[in-house]
């Protein structure tokens, strides 16, 4: 059992970043707290060790930290989901809406080394869900079995989970209402 209060206390709030009215959840303080980070990674390993996963896909950039660490603990591969133009080989992409305009995420066309692999999608935080939804759709485009989307923090008042629930199961370690 994880101590959710300890984990929540290990995350620093930065008011008015990146713009006024937003409270940024800074996970660097969780990462440099060895007790918090170890507790979190042990919890994720315990949760997913029986899922028979083939890959963990992590969303740029903080999803790389948790995803790569978890993949290593589970003895499986890691796939980076990157912003457009950051991967060197042939990619496929998925657009998603921003407040004003669009952005895209990409993966290599051969990222999962075949089809029907069991994949966990992970990121540090889900807010409105646009990036996570695009990443989930990318995984589906490559004909993989997206088992679940996992987030360390869910800002539940923004309802981002709803964009994913019609694609895959959603799990959040910590919820901020």
User: Active site includes 99?
Assistant: yes
Enumerate residues 6+ apart whose C-beta is below 8 A from 35: 6
User: Active site includes 12?
Assistant: no
What residue ranges in 19-144 does DSSP mark as E strands? 23-26, 55-59, 77-83, 91-98, 101-108, 118-126
In a 10 Å sphere around its CB, with 0-12 CB exposed, 13-18 middle and 19+ buried, how is residue 138 labelled?
buried
Q: Exactly one of 62, 73, 104, 118 is catalytic; name it.
A: 62
- DSSP assignment letter at 156: G
In order along its 177 residues, the chain shows pLDDT tens digits of 789 999 999 999 999 999 999 999 999 999 999 999 999 999 999 999 999 999 999 999 999 999 999 999 999 999 999 999 999 999 999 999 987 789 999 999 999 999 999 999 999 999 999 999 999 999 999 999 999 999 999 999 999 999 999 999 999 999 999
**pLDDT, position 98:** 82
**pLDDT, position 100:** 79
Q: Quick one: tokens of 47? A: 């949760």
Burial pattern 105-130, b for ≥16 Cβ within 10 A else e, equals: bbbbeebbeeeebbbbbbbbbbbbbb
SS3 of residue 133 by DSSP: helix
Distance of alpha carbon 142 from alpha carbon 20, whole angstroms? 39
In a 10 Å sphere around its CB, with 0-12 CB exposed, 13-18 middle and 19+ buried, how is residue 94 labelled?
buried
- Domains parsed from the chain with CATH numbers: 52-176 (3.40.50.2020)
**pLDDT, position 175:** 96
């Amino acid at each position: 059992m994880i101590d959710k209060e300890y984990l929540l206390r290990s995350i620093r709030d930065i008011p008015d970043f990146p713009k006024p009215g937003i409270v940024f959840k800074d996970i660097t303080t969780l990462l440099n707290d060895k007790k918090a980070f170890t507790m979190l990674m042990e919890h994720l390993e315990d949760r997913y060790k029986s899922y028979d996963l083939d890959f963990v896909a992590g969303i740029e950039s903080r999803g790389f930290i948790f995803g790569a660490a978890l993949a290593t603990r589970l003895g499986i591969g890691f796939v980076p989901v990157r912003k457009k133009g950051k991967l060197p080989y042939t990619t496929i992409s998925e657009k998603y809406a921003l407040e004003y305009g669009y952005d895209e995420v990409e993966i290599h066309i051969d990222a999962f080394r075949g089809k029907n692999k069991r994949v966990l999608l992970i990121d540090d935080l889900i807010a409105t869900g646009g990036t996570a939804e695009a990443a989930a759709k990318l995984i589906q485009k490559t004909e993989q079995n997206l088992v679940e989307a996992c987030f360390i923090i869910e800002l539940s008042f923004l309802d981002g989970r709803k964009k994913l629930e019609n694609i895959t199961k959603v799990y959040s370690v910590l919820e901020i209402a």
